[in-house]
Structure 1
Amino acid sequence: MQVFPYDRKLGNLLPVLGGALEDELEPRLLTDLEPGRWRIEQRTIQPTRYRTELGAALRYTLRVRDRLTAQSETRRCYLKVYRNERGAETFQLLQALTDKAEAGGAPYGVVRPIAYVRELRTLALEEARGPALQQILLHGGDWSAALRAVARAVAAFNQDDLPLTERHSLADQLADVNRAASLVRWACPELRAQVEALTAAIEAGLTDVPPALIHRDLKTDHIFLSGDQVIFIDLDSVVLGDPVRDPAHLVAHITARVGLDALPADEARRAADVFVDEYFAHVPPAWRPQFQLHRVGALIEVAGGIFKRQEPRWPEKVAAAIAEAHRAAPGAL
């Protein structure tokens, strides 16, 4: 038995929560303030996500006050605590993408890295600017322009050229889908026949394609919009793979309404259609044929995730995600 933050595989978590990064991090957070004038009044470190023995995400907040004017300011960043050296690889990737964006070479942005502290296997990141796509969809109003901007940014990301070697193959993807399908069949026996038919269609229909850059974890709370810029966060899973896995993954999260309970189902489908039409207007036509099967697979994975997280009303949500998968694959079954 383990109790947060005492984690036998994350021995670096407790020192980070105890303030071990203060000397390394705080001068970087306060670089735009005149030295000597500002006093730190409050320092808070709050967990935002924790996966036992795997990693943690923390919100690091400083409240400072000007000694002369009594003006107060807040500075915030996020810390990702890793079990292994994946954070070092993510830091290098984010730095390369940030440099490229600043040079005007990319139509999208990424959350800016602040530092990677190897001794504590911890990556510090700036707070993403603007609202998340999730907030925009929930806020109501016309979100079409935002979705089209996101679609163009995802298309550009999938066609970008970075010196990566790690690949997520079709076999890897099918293994992911089958694991999720097995979980859904166990959790919801009444869906067994539907899930088996969908999985069989995916295995029979998908073929290998030339690999391209993929995020592998695109969802509405991993995409932010600041003015005209689209910003991606959580790039720990970036690899080479079938590029339409990214739009399929995002569309699955939208149509299954993950984190979007207040968005009506018909509006979620309309949002997905807006995104899909814009995305495929900016990528090679050869990418389109396998998209629906990737969408089906992504919805099965989403259904498995809903159960694993034990979301409120999970049986209803899992069934709805599988129904969306059937809706996405009428010609494949």
Structure 2
Amino acid sequence: MRSDPEFPHLSTALSPLLMQELLQTTLVGQLDDQRHGLVVGSCVIGETRYKPGKSCVLSYHLQLHDVSTGSHHEQVVSARLCRPDEGMAEFDRAKSIQLFRVPRLQSLAYLPETEMVVWSFPNDRKLTHLPQLLNLEFLAAHLSSKLALIGLDGSNEIETITTEVLHYLPERSCMIRYRLTAKRRSTGESCALTLYGKIYRDDIGVEVHSIMYQLAEQMPGSAVPLGYDPELRTLWQSHVPGEPFLWESLESSDALDVVRRIARCVAEFHCCTVRTPSRFDLPDIDESLLDTIKAAEHAYPDLAGRITSLVNALLAQRRSMCWSGALTTPIHRDLKMRNFLIGGEKVALIDMDSVCLGDPMTDIGSLIANFHLNGIRAGADIGSIRKIVDVFCSAYAEAVPWAVSRPRMNWFTATAFIHEITRRSIRQLDNERMQYINQYLDLSELYSSM
């Protein structure tokens, strides 16, 4: 990857060993003598979002070892890489926000060696209410005032709460699972329930709540929104049983039946009616394709020429195609294997944050590309992946009341390999995905030629 003059310390930020040393010194080494003995045993890079020349946000998963007790625990740290001489100003701005005290660590720190500001979880640059959502004392009081929201009446009282962070995207969102026990005051009878809270950096949760509410009425078994909490910028939602749909799921004897159920679930979603002003259309795909070229020119110039040729060919192909009769349905905009839950014979679609209106083939192209992505990473051969794709496409075509255009489906799939798979690989600085990048580009060419 080519160096970025806007972020000259990027290579250091991407070195786990160097960051392990820096975070040991900055997060632990500056504390008082009573807290010595805490050692950063390992450092693993987590979520990364990189826009070449514009911004870079990362997370690190640290294994902390207490020398005095022999105990270990994990600590997540989010980080923002700054341009030269801008880190201290970012640090000063961050200090103005009340911080949660993290035992034995700095809650906030500035690393001049990398021009980086770091936040110890649950502190976050934009998710300012996150510490409250993990504070059991606060939650007990807060949820007790919202019993109706979680399906209880005033005759109940919350006895216990446990929390589990499921997915954390620094500066964007965090999904937390809550397991509660509540007791009915009159009888002493206890009950257990599970719910989820997703905190956002802004009020997008209002629109997500509206969309989930509409879909829950039309798709039985999907997550039910329990309410949006504007004070905490948090969307509360019900539990959906099941396990994530992973490539390993396709190694079972009923793999093809699972794929057919996935296809019927997508078809059911596309047949729903959703009222929303948000859209994702062909001009948006054009913009994303062109943005992929820019990202490649900055970070991987050796790939930029090929990506540019592919994008130009796809845009020319689109202009030559007939688009009369194109459909508008709800589209998920993040249709990937992990966003399906398999529970016995039932399939549920989750994570509705990006739902809007558009051509349903946008979603189909995304999922086909994701099948290939996961299959390639699992070492599957192209023939077995194509079999999964063919079964899915046939089952989907049988389940929807409209005729599915294979040329359009193939075009959307070819574009997904560029503006989703390739662009995300670059932006997430995902070395594992980048080693397969030419295979993704080959597949884009293949699908565009079908």
Q: What interval of TM-score do these two structures reach, taking the shorter chain for normalisation?
A: 0.7 to 0.9
**Residue 269 (str. 1) matches residue 386 (str. 2):** yes
Q: 2:436 aligns with which of 299, 317, 323?
A: 317
Paired position in structure 1 for 2:202: 84
Paired position in structure 2 for 1:162: 274
Q: 2:411 aligns with which of 293, 300, 303?
A: 293
Instruction: State the alpha-carbon separation in 1 of the partners of residues 294 and 201 from structure 2.
Output: 28
The offset of 1:243, in angstroms, is 1.3
Paired position in structure 2 for 1:96: 214
Structure 2 CA distance for partners of 1:321 and 1:81, relative to 1, 3 Å: same
Instruction: State the alpha-carbon separation in 1 of the partners of residues 151 and 332 from structure 2.
Output: 31
Structure 2 CA distance for partners of 1:188 and 1:210, relative to 1, 3 Å: same
Instruction: State the alpha-carbon separation in 2 of the partners of residues 62 and 309 from structure 1.
Output: 35
Instruction: State the alpha-carbon separation in 1 of the partners of residues 261 and 129 from structure 2.
Output: 39
> Which structure is higher in RCO with an 8 Å CA cutoff and minimum separation 6?
1
1:3-42 maps to which residues of 2 (within 5 A)? 3=119, 4-19=121-136, 20-25=138-143, 27=147, 31=152, 35=156, 39-40=159-160
Of 296-305 and 19-28, more deviation after overlay is shown by 19-28
Paired position in structure 1 for 2:289: 177
Of 89-98 and 14-23, more deviation after overlay is shown by 14-23
Instruction: State the alpha-carbon separation in 1 of the partners of residues 426 and 193 from structure 2.
Output: 36
Paired position in structure 1 for 2:170: 51
Per-residue CA deviations over 1:44-85 (Å, capped at 9, x if unaligned) read 342522232x2222233447899xxxx998643332111222
Instruction: State the alpha-carbon separation in 2 of the partners of residues 326 and 25 from structure 1.
Output: 53
Instruction: State the alpha-carbon separation in 2 of the partners of residues 189 and 82 from structure 1.
Output: 35
Q: Give the unaligned 5+ runs of structure 2.
A: 1-116
Structure 2 CA distance for partners of 1:255 and 1:64, relative to 1, 3 Å: same
More strand by share: 2
Of 179-188 and 237-246, more deviation after overlay is shown by 179-188
Q: Which amino acid aligns with 2:380?
A: P
Q: Give the unaligned 5+ runs of structure 1.
A: 103-108
Of 73-82 and 152-161, more deviation after overlay is shown by 73-82
Contact 1:132–1:221, Cα closer than 8 Å, also in 2: yes
TM-score by length of 1: 0.82
Paired position in structure 2 for 1:227: 344
Structure 2 CA distance for partners of 1:126 and 1:192, relative to 1, 3 Å: same
Paired position in structure 1 for 2:425: 306
Q: 2:367 aligns with which of 250, 264, 273?
A: 250
Of 111-120 and 262-271, more deviation after overlay is shown by 262-271
Q: Which amino acid aligns with 1:262?
A: A
1:235-246 maps to which residues of 2 (within 5 A)? 235-246=352-363
Of 246-255 and 311-320, more deviation after overlay is shown by 311-320
Contact 2:293–2:307, Cα closer than 8 Å, also in 1: yes
Q: Which amino acid aligns with 2:272?
A: D
Q: 1:127 aligns with which of 234, 239, 257?
A: 239
Percent identity, aligned pairs only, is 26
Paired position in structure 2 for 1:143: 255
Instruction: State the alpha-carbon separation in 1 of the partners of residues 180 and 195 from structure 2.
Output: 9
Measured on the aligned residues, the alpha-carbon RMSD in Å equals 3.1
Instruction: State the alpha-carbon separation in 1 of the partners of residues 379 and 397 from structure 2.
Output: 24
Q: Which amino acid aligns with 2:239?
A: E
Paired position in structure 1 for 2:93: none
Paired position in structure 1 for 2:25: none
Paired position in structure 2 for 1:60: 178
Contact 1:183–1:304, Cα closer than 8 Å, also in 2: yes
Instruction: State the alpha-carbon separation in 1 of the partners of residues 225 and 249 from structure 2.
Output: 27
Structure 2 CA distance for partners of 1:252 and 1:184, relative to 1, 3 Å: farther
Larger radius of gyration: 2
The offset of 1:92, in angstroms, is 1.9
Structure 2 CA distance for partners of 1:165 and 1:125, relative to 1, 3 Å: same
Per-residue CA deviations over 1:240-283 (Å, capped at 9, x if unaligned) read 1111001110111111117x733513332321221112222334
Instruction: State the alpha-carbon separation in 1 of the partners of residues 181 and 167 from structure 2.
Output: 19
Instruction: State the alpha-carbon separation in 2 of the partners of residues 140 and 185 from structure 1.
Output: 42
Corresponding residue SS for 2:365: helix
Paired position in structure 2 for 1:105: none
Number of equivalences = 317
